[in-house]
Amino acid sequence: MGRIPRMPTQALRLPTPVLLVGNGAAAIVSSLCAGLLDAGEAARFSCADFEGVDAAAETSLGAARLILVGVGPEAEAILTDPVWEPWQRPGSAIARIALSDAVASVDTGAQLLEEGPGGLATFRLPTAQVDALPMATIVVAQLLEAECARATLRSQLETERACEPLGACLDPGKLYSMALELLLERTGCRRGIAFFSPSPAPQGAGVAARGFDEQTRDRLSRYLIEEKSLESTMGRGEVGVVPWGPLHHVLGRVGLESPGALLSVPLRGEDQEAGHVWLLSEGRRFDEADLATARTIARRASAALATAERYHHAKERAFIDDVTGVYNARYLLATADNEIQRAARYGNVLSVLFLDLDRFKLVNDRYGHLIGSETLRALSVLLAECVRQVDTLARYGGDEFTILLVDTPHDVALRIAERIRSRVEAHLFEAGREGALQLTISVGVATCPDHGKIREPLLDAADKAMYRAKSQGRNRVASANALGGRLSIDD
């Protein structure tokens, strides 16, 4: 047959397992090793014999490629046993050699190579030509390397194509779930978890889990959110295999005592967007092909998260008041609709404060509009300090501001309004060379559903209550409960 050219040693990172399986395999393995040594190829292979396929496959778990030699009358059954299916998946490859008396000698004109499962040819030798087994092993190793290179390229291209929908998604919460599903599909894993903190609005951590029943998924979500050490590491690190970590503790709490190593995939955008995906190994070993696939998906998902962040930042800027930096009336109106619907759905209350600076026109007239704008900005900072992160502060227009207080009863809203009024009255606003100036505000308070079940009447009630506070002398808080009578005021 002639000597087979050697492949570059740098192409082989680890010896290729050669598994001799079947009756008589033990008697052949030593001669195979000796033949490979004589050919100068022994370092490229790791040879072992087994009586049955189960032990051989279990020993080889984690190997990206292997050469299988079926020995004896059961050679065909050994080569086609379903136990070898893991090596048919992307990133893996298997080459087969049949050594059996049922195979005709090549000297009689028999075909040496035949198409086998998975697209790789099966090399066939009669038992009488066992001396040719080392050369046959070298031949199929070259075929195996070539097929692995093609399979790796195909897998990379398929993974890149599978990632294309990520670029069209602008919802960060959905992107984490999509990345999780892609990772499961492309690696062949069954179970995985995504843990993330979505933007743009401040909100709690999110969890997506696949491969768990509903009850386990609910408990898993609760425990993940409680595990603060996981939240602090979201999006950090590199793609890799984690033999043990905080997530194992969480999995143990839901009854998964031995989930095995985890494939850890951090995802992060350009700003605050960050999350993590973990795949459970469940007995398998993650190989370099799995890591390469995970890195590709992480790269594409992180790029999509960055795009989603930029989109939401641009969208948010359209809702930001240019002068004060707080939300504008457009955002207020949209958010008011959403919060009213949420309050109705869960049976909660929503209160609204309408605030107006008293006689602010005099500030502009005396100090100029630049000082007036600085005053509005300073007032915005002060107001933001008086409300919670879940509340909404917006400049409604001119010197009017609106605050949406979620889950806040009317009596509590009145106390908050009074606290804000007192803070503003005690605050000294910078007036440039003129020194400092003191201002007051008038505040109107209305609550949904008592003063309006939809946006327009609710905001109108708060607005009218604010004007009632002005009509009663300014620098005070008025409730929509007291509306009635004719209002007569000037600014």
Residue pLDDT, tens place only, 290-338: 899 999 999 999 999 999 888 888 877 888 898 999 999 999 999 999 9
Q: What is the CATH number of the domain that holds 281?
A: 3.30.450.40
Residue 487 resides in a domain: no
Q: What pLDDT shows up at residue 111? A: 44
Q: What pLDDT shows up at residue 395? A: 95
Q: Are residues 170 and 98 in the same domain?
A: no
Q: Are residues 425 and 395 in the same domain?
A: yes
Q: Are residues 310 and 170 in the same domain?
A: yes
Per-position b or e across 139-169, b if 16+ CB within 10 A of its CB: bbbebbbebbeebbeebbeebeebbeebeeb
Residue 422 pLDDT > 90, yes or no? yes
Provide the 8-state DSSP code for 491: -
Q: What three-state secondary structure class fits 350?
A: strand
- Whether the pTM exceeds 0.85: the reply is no
Domain encompassing residue 290: 164-317
Q: What pLDDT shows up at residue 345? A: 86
* Contact between residue 403 and residue 392 where contact means Cβ atoms under 8 Å apart: yes
- Residue 97, classified by CB atoms within 10 Å of its CB into exposed (0-12), middle (13-18) or buried (19+), is buried
Q: What pLDDT shows up at residue 232? A: 67
Per-position b or e across 230-265, b if 16+ CB within 10 A of its CB: bbebbbeeebebbeeebbbebbebbebeebbbbbbb
Cβ count within 10 A of residue 452: 20
Q: Which residue has the higher pLDDT, 108 or 343?
A: 343
- How many CA atoms does the CB half-sphere of 459 hold within 13 Å? 19
What is the torsional sign of CA 466, 471, 477, 483? negative
Q: What pLDDT shows up at residue 146? A: 81
Q: Are residues 305 and 334 in the same domain?
A: no
Q: What is the CATH number of the domain that holds 74?
A: 3.40.50.2300
Q: Are residues 130 and 193 in the same domain?
A: no
Residue 159 resides in a domain: no
Residue 434 resides in a domain: yes
Q: What distance in Å separates the CA atoms of residue 146 and residue 143, rounded to the nearest whole number?
A: 5
Q: Are residues 75 and 220 in the same domain?
A: no
Instruction: Work out the mean pLDDT of the chain and round it to a whole number.
Output: 85
Residue 230 resides in a domain: yes
Share of the chain above pLDDT 90, in %: 46
Q: What pLDDT shows up at residue 484? A: 61
Q: How do residues 31-77 score in pLDDT, each as one tens digit?
A: 999 999 999 999 999 999 998 999 999 888 777 788 999 999 999 89
Q: How many domains does the chain have?
A: 3
Across residues 428-443, what is the average pLDDT?
89
Across residues 449-469, what is the average pLDDT?
94
Q: Are residues 125 and 204 in the same domain?
A: no
Q: Are residues 282 and 168 in the same domain?
A: yes
Across residues 146-167, what is the average pLDDT?
85
Q: What pLDDT shows up at residue 202? A: 41
Q: What three-state secondary structure class fits 252?
A: helix
Residue 246 resides in a domain: yes
* Contact between residue 427 and residue 369 where contact means Cβ atoms under 8 Å apart: no
Which residues have C-beta within 8 Å of that of residue 469, sequence separation ≥ 6? 442, 443, 444, 476, 477, 478
Q: What is the CATH number of the domain that holds 423?
A: 3.30.70.270
Q: What pLDDT shows up at residue 198? A: 56
* Contact between residue 167 and residue 305 where contact means Cβ atoms under 8 Å apart: no
Residue 3 resides in a domain: no
Q: What pLDDT shows up at residue 207? A: 84
Among 113, 128, 154, where does a domain finish? 154
Q: How do residues 229-244 score in pLDDT, each as one tens digit?
A: 676 677 788 999 988 8
Q: Are residues 297 and 392 in the same domain?
A: no
Q: Are residues 305 and 407 in the same domain?
A: no
Among 317, 351, 381, where does a domain finish? 317
Q: Are residues 267 and 340 in the same domain?
A: no
* Contact between residue 468 and residue 489 where contact means Cβ atoms under 8 Å apart: no
Q: Which residue has the higher pLDDT, 445 or 12?
A: 445
Among 135, 154, 173, where does a domain finish? 154
Q: Are residues 138 and 61 in the same domain?
A: yes
